[in-house]
Amino acid sequence: MSDANPVLAPWQQRVHDHAAVALDAGKLGHAQLFCGPVHMGKHAVALQLARRLMCTQPVAGGAPCSKCRGCELMVAGTHPDFMDISFIPTRDGSKLRTEIVIEQIRALSEQLTLTPQFGGAQVAIIDPADMINHAASNALLKTLEEPVPGRHLWLVSARPEKLSATIRSRCQRLEFRLPPRDEARAWLQAQGHPQKAADEALDAARGHPGLADAWLHDGGIALRREVAADLAKLARGDLGAVEAAQRWTAGDDTAMRLRHAADLAVAEAASLTAPARMRKLAAWFDAANRTRELLQTTVRADLAVAELLLAWRG
Ligand SMILES: [Zn+2]
């Protein structure tokens, strides 16, 4: 079924339809910034809009036909006039890079100067655009400053504030916003999640349905329950900070545990009225986030987490 048009979530459909109207009227700016939280489906919407542009025989309403050569090549991921730019492997091929580098942007600029092979539009998606490194960012700016009709440059980012102000100023924004609660619940249930689980996940994800869905699939909600139980035990003195820290840092989910822990601290603070305890939780929230950043460094994770958990108890 990969050739069928994907079913977009209602909040994705709204952004898609808004952009599609402008696109069909030839009024969509050359550079767009798709922004909003992770797991909102920004890339899926950008891809669907690209398919719309690449289809040579759109059906009623302008949707891609899924049958023409343009559509076939888009589904196969080999359309010569479409570029989906993300992290490429390192030189020795052992892992993916963690930033988008200048060679990629140079190749993109080069491509955009060529006549489209299908004679239609050219589209490039850059995701995550906020991970373009400095040199690549300067190269991208040149491309942004020389718009060519029919060439579309779509930047996708969950952290648009990390992009340079000059790049941001060259783009129009397509904002993905969290949907109303009822819509999020209905969508989660349509994904096959029982209502009770969907509600718990939606609360934990603060109304973000895509994140709730991801947590329900990858065990994130179970992990959150475990973190909450550990924090309660630590507070009561039923669990030692060192022992808990060893457990929290034994696997590859340490950052996720700290994220849940920080979030649980905020949730607890929100339910309180005592200013002293609230201040303490706010400070602990900051400390948890700092510890999460420390995990990226050479610091010993178990020691850093033990220190954090000692502070929870105190
Ligand atoms: Zn088509």
Instruction: Say if residues 123 and 81 touch (Cβ distance below 8 Å).
Output: yes
Q: Choose the weakest-confidence range: 108-112, 221-225, 249-253, 310-314.
A: 310-314
Q: Report the 10 Å Cβ neighbour count for 76.
A: 10
Q: What is the pLDDT of residue 1?
A: 38
The count of residues in the chain is 314
DSSP secondary structure letters along 131-189: GB-HHHHHHHHHHHHS--TTEEEEEEES-GGGS-HHHHHTSEEEE--PPPHHHHHHHHH
Domain span holding position 167:
10-175
Q: Angle CA(160)–CA(163)–CA(164) in degrees, nearest 5?
A: 140
pTM of the complete model: 0.86
What per-residue confidence (pLDDT) applies to 202?
94
Q: Given a cut of 80, is residue 228 above it in pLDDT?
A: yes
Which residues are close to ligand 1, an ion, with C-beta < 5 A?
Answer: 55, 64-65, 68, 71
Which residue, 160, 175, 190, sits at the end of a domain?
175
Does one domain contain both 51 and 142? Answer: yes
72 CA to middle of ligand 1, Å?
A: 7
Distance 286 CA to ligand 1 centre (A): 50
User: What spacing in Å lies between the alpha carbon of 109 and ligand 1's midpoint?
Assistant: 26
Give yes or no: residues 245 and 162 share one domain.
Answer: no
Residues 144-163 pLDDT 10s: 998 888 999 999 999 999 99
Position 281, amino acid: L
If DSSP codes are grouped into helix, strand and coil, which group holds residue 100? strand
CA–centroid distance, residue 61 to ligand 1 (Å): 13
Give mean pLDDT, residues 211-226.
94
Task: Assign residue 148 the CATH number of its domain.
Answer: 3.40.50.300
Do 111 and 244 belong together in one domain?
no
Ligand 1 centre distance from Cα of residue 79 (Å): 12
The candidate with the shortest Cα–Cα distance to 50, out of 18, 27, 33, 74, is: 74
Q: How close is the Cα of 53 to the center of ligand 1, in Å?
A: 9
Q: How far apart (Å, rounded) are the C-alpha atoms in residues 290 and 18?
A: 39
Mean pLDDT value of segment 19-48 = 95
Q: Can you tell me whether residue 108 is helix, strand or coil?
A: helix
Average pLDDT over residues 21-29: 93
**Residue range 212-234: mean pLDDT, rounded:** 94
Q: Measure 85 CA to ligand 1 centroid, in angstroms.
A: 22
CA of 310 to the centre of ligand 1 (A): 60
Number of domains in the chain: 2
